[in-house]
């Protein structure tokens, strides 16, 4: 990845996204106290949601690059361990995701008035790490789906905006119709946002353990599904002798 892309992802995208939705909230809220709390809620949610750019897009587009550059065939016939291959794809995006969310939280605290106590930092750190891993796992899953598609860009964009709508980023999930709440519960971002909100709020350890377990479960499920999709694709491609049909 180019350094300007990395710096933009870490420092610029979180700020612009948080400022945009903060202005939207200010325009739509009534009363100074209501506006302040709503802006803080939205800023914190978007600080976490910016992880999508570094986790979903960069990971899913790896599949596109391999197809276009002609390296996917070499991967399919190589004896490389597939689990190691997937972890290798996700390592740098996990680190980039950690940096993005951390910078977003700094913006939320210093620019948008989100109170973050020093005692909450360890819980926040655990929540951020789990969220980054889960979202990279989700990016790997979309990359696995993209094996069967021409490109992952459309898929990534769809889930970017679905996450903003259904994951409790800009408003509580409870404000959505019940079917959409269930759909939101199926997204790793929902549980990551909830875990970080609970950590910032200083919720008890019992609550945090439940949320951390949900984020970890989401990470495991998405990674397992991604590897399964890869294995099915690999078997079908090897049996036909070509990946052209995909």
Whether 150 shows a pLDDT value over 90: the answer reads no
- Over range 105-112, report the average pLDDT: 96
Of the pLDDT bands very low, low, confident and very high (cuts 50, 70, 90), residue 69 is confident
Q: 187: Cβ–Cβ under 8 A, 6 or more apart, which residues?
A: 138, 159, 162, 163, 166, 167, 218
- Over range 167-190, report the average pLDDT: 95
Highest mean pLDDT among 34-38, 48-52, 90-94, 187-191: 187-191
Q: What is the pLDDT of residue 182?
A: 96
Q: Is the dihedral of CA 51, 82, 216, 183 positive or negative?
A: positive
Q: What is the pLDDT of residue 198?
A: 97
User: Of 135, 122, 154, nearest to 49 (Cα)?
Assistant: 135
- Over range 202-211, report the average pLDDT: 97
Return the higher-pLDDT residue of 70 and 222: 222
**Residue 245 included in any domain:** no
- Say which DSSP state 171 is in: S
Of the pLDDT bands very low, low, confident and very high (cuts 50, 70, 90), residue 155 is confident
Q: What is the pLDDT of residue 35?
A: 82
**Residue 192 included in any domain:** yes
3 state SS of 226 = helix
**Residue 78 included in any domain:** yes
State the chain's mean pLDDT as an integer.
90
Determine which of 3-17, 151-165, 200-214 has the lowest per-residue pLDDT on average. 151-165
Percent of the chain with pLDDT strictly greater than 70? 96
Which domain, by its residues, includes 99?
3-240
**Residue 246 included in any domain:** no
- Over range 165-193, report the average pLDDT: 95
Domains held by the chain: number: 1
Whether 74 shows a pLDDT value over 80: the answer reads yes
3 state SS of 70 = coil
- Over range 206-211, report the average pLDDT: 97
């Amino acid at each position: 990845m180019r350094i300007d892309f990395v710096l933009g992802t870490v420092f610029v995208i979180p700020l612009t996204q948080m400022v945009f939705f903060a202005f939207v909230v200010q325009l739509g809220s009534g009363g100074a106290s209501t506006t302040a709390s709503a802006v803080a809620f939205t800023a914190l949610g978007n600080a976490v949601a910016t992880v999508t750019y570094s986790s979903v897009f960069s990971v899913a587009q790896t599949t596109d690059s391999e197809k276009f550059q002609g390296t996917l065939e070499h991967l399919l016939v190589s004896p490389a361990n597939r689990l190691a291959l997937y972890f290798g794809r996700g390592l740098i995006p996990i680190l980039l995701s950690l940096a993005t969310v951390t910078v977003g939280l700094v913006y939320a605290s210093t620019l948008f008035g989100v109170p973050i106590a020093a005692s909450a930092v360890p819980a926040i750190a655990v929540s951020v790490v789990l969220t980054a891993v889960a979202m990279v796992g989700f990016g790997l899953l979309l990359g696995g789906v993209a094996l069967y598609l021409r490109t992952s860009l459309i898929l990534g964009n769809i889930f970017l905006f679905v996450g903003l709508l259904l994951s409790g980023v800009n408003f509580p999930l409870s404000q959505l119709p019940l079917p959409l709440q269930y759909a939101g519960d199926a997204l790793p971002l929902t549980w990551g946002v909830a875990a970080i909100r609970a950590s910032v709020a200083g919720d008890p350890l019992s609550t945090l353990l439940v949320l951390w377990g949900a984020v970890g479960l989401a990470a495991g499920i998405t990674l397992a599904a991604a590897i399964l999709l890869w294995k099915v694709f690999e078997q079908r491609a090897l049996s036909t002798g070509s990946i052209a049909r995909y």
